[in-house]
Structure 1
Amino acid sequence: MNSSSSKLDNATLSLFKNVNTSIAISVIYIVITLMNLMGNGLSMWLLLFRTSPKTPSIIFMINLTLTDLALGTALPFQIAYQLLGYNWNLGPNMCSFLTMMFFTNMYCSILTMMAIGIDRYLGIVRPLLFRETRERKSLAIISCLFMWGLVLSVLYPLMTTDLTFDIPELGITTCFDVLKKNMLPSQSAWVAFLFCTCFVLFFFPFCITTFCYIRVIKQLGSDSKTAQKARAIRLAFIVLMVFTLCFAPNNIILLAHTIMRIFFKKSLYTAYKLTLCFSCLNSCLDPFIYYFASKDFRQKLRQIMNWRSLSSTESKMEHREVLFSMQSGL
Structure 2
Amino acid sequence: MPGNSSSIKLDNATMALFQDMNTSIIISLIYSVVTGINVVGNGLSLWLLIFRTTPKTPSIIFMINLTLTDLALGAALPFQISYLLQGYHWALGSRMCSVLTLVFYTNIYCSVLTMMAIGIDRYLGIVWPMQFKLTRERKSIAVISCVFMWGLVLSVLYPLMTTDLTYEIPELGITTCFDVLKQTMLPTVGAWAGFLFSMVFLLFIFPFCVTAFCYVSVIRKLASDSKTAQKKRAIRLAFIVLLVFTVCFAPNNILLLVHSVLRLFYKKSVYMAYKMSLCLSCLNSCLDPFIYYFACRDFRHKLRQIINIQSQSSGDSMKMEHKESLCNS
TM-score band w.r.t. shorter chain: over 0.9
Aligned match of 2:172: 170
Aligned match of 1:325: none
Letter in 1 for 2:174: I
Give 1:132 shift: 2.6
Q: Give 1:11-50 correspondences, 5 Å limit.
A: 11-50=13-52
- Structure 2 residue corresponding to 1:202, chosen from 189, 197, 204: 204
Letter in 1 for 2:301: Q
Aligned match of 1:247: 249
Aligned match of 1:63: 65
Q: Give 1:188-267 correspondences, 5 Å limit.
A: 188-267=190-269
Aligned match of 1:154: 156
Give 1:196 shift: 1.2
Aligned match of 1:145: 147
Overall identity of the aligned pairs, in %: 72
Letter in 2 for 1:4: G
Aligned match of 1:324: none
Give 1:307 shift: 7.4
Letter in 2 for 1:3: P
Letter in 1 for 2:3: S
Aligned match of 2:110: 108
Give 1:258 shift: 1.1
Aligned match of 1:135: 137
CA–CA distance in 1 between the matches of 2:238 and 2:138?
A: 25
What's the RMSD between the two structures over aligned residues? 1.2
Task: Tell me the alpha carbon deviations over residues 229-273 of structure 1, each in whole angstroms, 9 at most, x when there is no partner.
Answer: 000000000000000000000000001101101110100000000
Aligned match of 2:321: none
Give 1:88 shift: 0.1
TM-score, normalised to structure 1, is 0.92
Divergent runs of 4+, >4 A: none
Q: Unpaired runs of 5+ in structure 1? A: 310-330
CA–CA distance in 2 between the matches of 1:258 and 1:143?
A: 30
Aligned match of 2:11: 9
CA–CA distance in 1 between the matches of 2:90 and 2:24?
A: 14
Q: Unpaired runs of 5+ in structure 2? A: 312-329
SS in 1 for 2:168: strand
Change in 2 beyond 3 A, CA 1:62/1:209: same
CA–CA distance in 1 between the matches of 2:105 and 2:13?
A: 24
Give 1:98 shift: 0.2
Query: Which has the larger Rg?
Result: 2
Give 1:85 shift: 0.4
Task: Tell me the alpha carbon deviations over residues 122-156 of structure 1, each in whole angstroms, 9 at most, x when there is no partner.
Answer: 00001122123342310000000000000000000
CA–CA distance in 2 between the matches of 1:134 and 1:206?
A: 27
